[in-house]
Amino acid sequence: MGLALAAAGTAQAQDARLLDGFEDISAWKATASDSVSASLRQVDGAKGKALCLDYDFNGVSGYAVARRALPMRYPGNYEFRYYLRGEGPANNLEIKLADASGDNVWWRNQPNTVLPSRWTASKLKQRQIDFAWGPIADRTLRATESFELTISAGKGGGKGSACIDELSFRELPLDDGSPLTGVLSRSGDTWTYDLGRVREFGGAILRWSDRKPVADYAIELSDDGRSWRTLREVRGSNGGEDMIAMPDAEARWLRVRPIDATSAKLLGIAVQPLAFSATTNDFIKAIAARAPRGTFPRGFSGEQPYWTIVGIDGGTEQGLIGEDGAIELAKGAPSIEPFVLVGGKRVGWADVQAAQSLQDGYLPIPSVHWTHRDFRLDITAFADGEPADSNLVGRYRLTNTTRAPMEYTLQLALRPLQVNPPGQFLNTTGGVSPIEAVTAMANAIDADGRRILFSRDAAHIQVSTFTSRETPLVAPSWHSPPWVRDPDKLASAALEYTVKLAPGESFDVAWTSKLSGTAPLDASRAEDRQRAVAATWRDKLDRVRIKVPPQVQRVVDTLRTSLAHMLVSRTGPRLQPGTRSYARAWIRDGAMINEGLLRMGREDVAEDFLRWYAPYQFPSGKVPCCVDDRGSDPVPENDSQGELIYAIAEQYRYTRDRALLEAMWPHVAGAVKYMDELRLSERTEENRANNPAFYGLMPASISHEGYSAKPMHSYWDDFWALRGYKDAVEIAQWLGKADDAKRFAASRDQFRADLYASIDIATKQKGIDFIPGAAELGDFDATSTTIMLAPGGEQDALPQGLLHNTFERYWREFVQRRDGTREWKDYTPYELRTVGSFVRLGWRERAHEALAFFFKDRQPPAWNQWAEVVSRTPRTPFFLGDLPHAWVESDYVRSVLDMFAYTRESDDALVVATGIPADWLQGEGVAIEGLRTPQGALAYTLKAEGDVLRFDAPAGLRLPKGGLALSLPKPWATGNASSAGRAMPLHDGELRITTLPARIEIRLPR
């Protein structure tokens, strides 16, 4: 069987209705996002005049748009036609169609496209147009009012032009859905397949006689049976079934013509629908569906896989290791997958029991362990080096677990497949990773300029193109050259190690490849290198030491792993929620990750992020929602200003670095100025009269993901804005800027009054008894409301009835979901924030019940991580965001640390032990050391001995005005407290401590 990919031919052009010949371009308007330049000009086109959109991204992200009104009504099937040309680097080419409201948009998005330098005919078919966004329920495209040509920043950015000519529209006949069947005939050595009429299709499966391989042949298409166009040439077919991809092919006749004389017989052709090769991933999925389970990774075989990241602290690239043992070499790169040949059978992931682990239970050194009746295989991945020069290392230990000597072949195959599965599509498309040229040597594989160096020489070497093997898996064959170039860019290679092992004996081999830098590779001493990496990570992750009973050690282990994932997920100073789908820095994520870093003793990383992010602020004072290699993103998300100010203030609270605070002051002042402009734009008489719930709020935006379809007046934005105003006042006071502090305080107070009035109006308008997510919706979103508690600090100022009802409702619905009495499809573990809210509300038991629920959704559990999305059917493929997701893990870090200590704004107290349950206090109890707070490093022990609970806290902490507030669990909450023989009062289970050191005893009441 051979397998191949081919570029589709095109049918001859037919008459179409001209929409715009561009002889007059006055109907077109150019617009652009912040700091991006855009202009229009008329040029000579393919046919008469044409329109050019000139753009310059000026070092930021964003977009440039050419737009005109163009009312359209759409039949059942159709296509747009136009000519394109342009110049400039690879950017995103977007054709957009919007309805009369402008809220609902359909598009074709072609990421990172280099436009042709000469006029080139293009088509946009009905099936290629997708719904982009909007609140409409019925997303069928029936009518639009405008047409846009957009260039948005892709990998290239920079400047250039996009030109369009002869925009036309053609109605097409509806496909009747009849089978793609036809008649196969032979003339000499050529076979012709007649579909009866011009049809669209996606490929074909050619079935050859098995005994006589055809080797090389050409595939040709024709619309009229006279004029033929060569689709591709297939080389090295060995007969059987050849699966040929033909993306977007359109023809009536398909012809197969052997290149050399052959006696092979073509037994049949099965033409495949468009979906067969809509993408290369779809093509591989189609092949996987016909192959035995395990031939391909889970993601191609209809099963959702899971993985984790492998990298160094602050590196610029990260690998992945999958739950089944494949290791991805870098973002979007191929992977190395293990197989074992034993007893005449090839053993892969589907033939073993696989388990996962982290070294020491928490270090970011993941392993996968295969258990088979004949062997055990341990696969470990780690990274070492420095950000400028780092390496990925894979280790394998094959052990004979039988009672007799055995011969094994360990096969390490480089495959053109990522660990990141094909169901992942955002930013980095998972699935196939092209390999065009590959060379294999005894101890190395070179693939498209990437080298993998092995610690041992292999017994056998395999390389292969996609069409020269029976399955898309490197396998022994009669033809195994050391070098190959694959026109399908799906080459593979493998090194094989054949060993004889006595019972209990093991065989070790390792490889390394570059994550960054160009220093020579060294595949030796892998075990020693792993030992050194582990020691480095212990130093980074153990700066805060928390001792808990063994039965809950996973809580602390996951805390430290989460810190590691936040450090590994970043690119240099750029804190990111992920390394694939979300490889960008959001100030929202960064501010909350920064808080976790500060509390865990990584002030240096938090400072690096601030110094890197703040300069991307726009001249207007607007803080970009996110930044990546393309620069500042212009999308207005009105939480951003408050988040930057908060991050700056928190950095000072923990470090007291006045020089840094002074350097950040212009960014604070600019953000306040911009927030004032935003809120005043809504503080109008029109809103007072017609939309009083919007009066004085931040304008509508899509910062809250639930409102991405249409911007809303999200209270999330307002909670962050209020936090920003409060912190701006403090920053001005810290710097001695009294006038600014007074002015900021006036804005703060006015905005707070408007916000609280809006909440009151919105709840009454909607007839609800909880704090809504958005003023106009009255929707329930407790995960958003958590921000008002922490870091908002407004817990005691909020309407207590609404606050209580909000989290009571969340708890009721949570219990229903947990207990299976409420239907749910998926959820985002951002909900981990509610654990911290429960702690602050004094709901100790509920906090731990929620935590236990969320712990069950770690994937895989032993890797101490959460994806952005958790599904109720975890093996059904779905988009899960990034895994791990650093923002989710920051929610976990902050919530768990709240259990041990948090700052309460209302009385300026450091509250300790609020989340520690009574059963943690038995035996060795709980001990904290080095937990960072704004008052310094906190240490204490809390331990029960019989009917006495002892609390010890050493000196060294700068107590806040409200002192320490020790919150006691039942039954100690009603005990008798004393220090040095003097009784101490307990108020609602809380004990106030005003001096350190402190040694306190609480006795159970008799």
Say if 838 falls within a structural domain. Answer: no
pLDDT (0 to 100) of residue 468: 52
Q: State yes or no: pLDDT of 280 exceeds 90.
A: yes
Q: State yes or no: pLDDT of 208 exceeds 60.
A: yes
The total of other beta-carbon atoms located within 10 Å of residue 995's CB is 11
Mean residue pLDDT across the chain: 93
Token pair belonging to 730: 């403090």
Please say whether the beta carbons of 83 and 654 come within 8 A. no
Say if 651 falls within a structural domain. Answer: yes
Q: Phi, psi at residue 82, to the nearest 5°? A: -165, 165
| Alpha-carbon gap, residue 91 to 153, rounded angstroms | 5
The total of other beta-carbon atoms located within 10 Å of residue 612's CB is 16
Q: State yes or no: pLDDT of 824 exceeds 70.
A: yes
Instruction: Identify the H or E element spanning 135.
Output: none
Q: State yes or no: pLDDT of 4 exceeds 70.
A: no
Q: Which of 463-477, 548-562, 800-814, 830-844 is the least confident region? A: 463-477
Q: Are 118 and 248 part of one and the same domain?
A: no
Say if 833 falls within a structural domain. Answer: no
Alpha-carbon torsion 776, 779, 784, 789, what sign?
positive
Q: Are 647 and 752 part of one and the same domain?
A: yes
Distance from the Cα of residue 996 to its chain's centroid = 45
Say if 897 falls within a structural domain. Answer: no
Instruction: Identify the H or E element spanning 869.
Output: none
pLDDT (0 to 100) of residue 212: 65
pLDDT (0 to 100) of residue 176: 75
pLDDT (0 to 100) of residue 10: 44
Q: Phi, psi at residue 69, to the nearest 5°? A: -70, 135
CATH number (domain holding residue 185) = 2.60.120.260
pLDDT (0 to 100) of residue 166: 95
Q: Are 795 and 923 part of one and the same domain?
A: no
Give how far Cα 106 sits from Cα of 596, 628, 940, 982, Å.
Answer: 40, 26, 58, 73
Residue finishing a domain among 278, 311, 341: 278
CATH number (domain holding residue 814) = 1.50.10.10
pLDDT (0 to 100) of residue 398: 98
Query: Quick one: three-class SS letters along 484-528?
Result: EECCCCECEEEEEEEEEECCCCEEEEEEEEEEECCCCCCCCCHHH
Tell me the average pLDDT across 952-962. Answer: 95
DSSP state of 969: P
Domain that holds residue 983: 907-1003
Name 946's Cβ contacts closer than 8 Å, sequence gap at least 6. Answer: none
| Alpha-carbon gap, residue 993 to 198, rounded angstroms | 85
Give how far Cα 510 sits from Cα of 310, 318, 452, Å.
Answer: 16, 18, 10
Tell me the average pLDDT across 200-228. Answer: 87
The pLDDT confidence band at residue 213, using thresholds 50, 70 and 90, is low
Tell me the average pLDDT across 719-742. Answer: 98
| Alpha-carbon gap, residue 45 to 240, rounded angstroms | 49
Q: Are 167 and 181 part of one and the same domain?
A: no
Q: State yes or no: pLDDT of 476 exceeds 90.
A: no
Q: Are 127 and 268 part of one and the same domain?
A: no
Say if 669 falls within a structural domain. Answer: yes
Residue whose structure tokens are 């163009």: 70
Q: State yes or no: pLDDT of 871 exceeds 80.
A: yes
The pLDDT confidence band at residue 460, using thresholds 50, 70 and 90, is very high
pLDDT (0 to 100) of residue 728: 98
Token pair belonging to 53: 């959109």
CATH number (domain holding residue 435) = 2.70.98.40
Q: Are 525 and 549 part of one and the same domain?
A: no
Q: State yes or no: pLDDT of 344 exceeds 60.
A: yes
pLDDT (0 to 100) of residue 472: 41
Say if 834 falls within a structural domain. Answer: no
Domain count, the chain: 5
Residue percentage of the chain with pLDDT more than 70 = 97
**If we measure between CA atoms, which residue out of 778, 789, 809, 798 comes closest to residue 891?**
789
Please say whether the beta carbons of 694 and 723 come within 8 A. no
Q: State yes or no: pLDDT of 13 exceeds 50.
A: no
Q: Which amino acid is at 500?
A: K
Residue finishing a domain among 824, 853, 888: 824
Please say whether the beta carbons of 591 and 646 come within 8 A. yes
Give how far Cα 513 sits from Cα of 310, 397, 442, Å.
Answer: 13, 19, 16
Q: Phi, psi at residue 77, to the nearest 5°? A: -145, 145
Q: State yes or no: pLDDT of 224 exceeds 50.
A: yes
Q: Are 145 and 188 part of one and the same domain?
A: no
Say if 884 falls within a structural domain. Answer: no
Q: State yes or no: pLDDT of 471 exceeds 70.
A: no
Q: Phi, psi at residue 430, to the nearest 5°? A: -80, 180
| Alpha-carbon gap, residue 784 to 627, rounded angstroms | 23
Q: State yes or no: pLDDT of 477 exceeds 70.
A: no
Q: State yes or no: pLDDT of 470 exceeds 50.
A: no
pLDDT (0 to 100) of residue 215: 72
The pLDDT confidence band at residue 707, using thresholds 50, 70 and 90, is confident
Residue finishing a domain among 824, 856, 890: 824
Helix 587-599 with 640-655: angle, nearest 10 deg: 20
**If we measure between CA atoms, which residue out of 688, 599, 543, 489 comes closest to residue 903?**
599
Say if 953 falls within a structural domain. Answer: yes
Q: Are 587 and 679 part of one and the same domain?
A: yes
Q: Are 669 and 547 part of one and the same domain?
A: yes
Query: Quick one: three-class SS letters along 194-240?
Result: EEEEEEEEEEEEEEECCCCCCEEEEEEEECCCCCCEEEEEEEEECCC
pLDDT (0 to 100) of residue 114: 95
The pLDDT confidence band at residue 241, using thresholds 50, 70 and 90, is confident
Pairing between β-strand 229-237 and β-strand 215-222 as defined by DSSP bridges: antiparallel
Q: Are 755 and 611 part of one and the same domain?
A: yes
Q: Are 487 and 577 part of one and the same domain?
A: no
Note the helical H segments in 767-799: 782-789
What would the pLDDT profile of 136-195 be if each residue is shown by its tens digit? Answer: 989 999 999 999 999 999 988 999 999 999 999 999 888 777 899 999 999 988 999 999
Q: State yes or no: pLDDT of 393 exceeds 80.
A: yes
Please say whether the beta carbons of 613 and 590 come within 8 A. yes
Q: Are 273 and 307 part of one and the same domain?
A: no
What would the pLDDT profile of 245-279 be if each residue is shown by its tens digit? Answer: 999 899 999 999 988 777 778 899 999 999 999 99
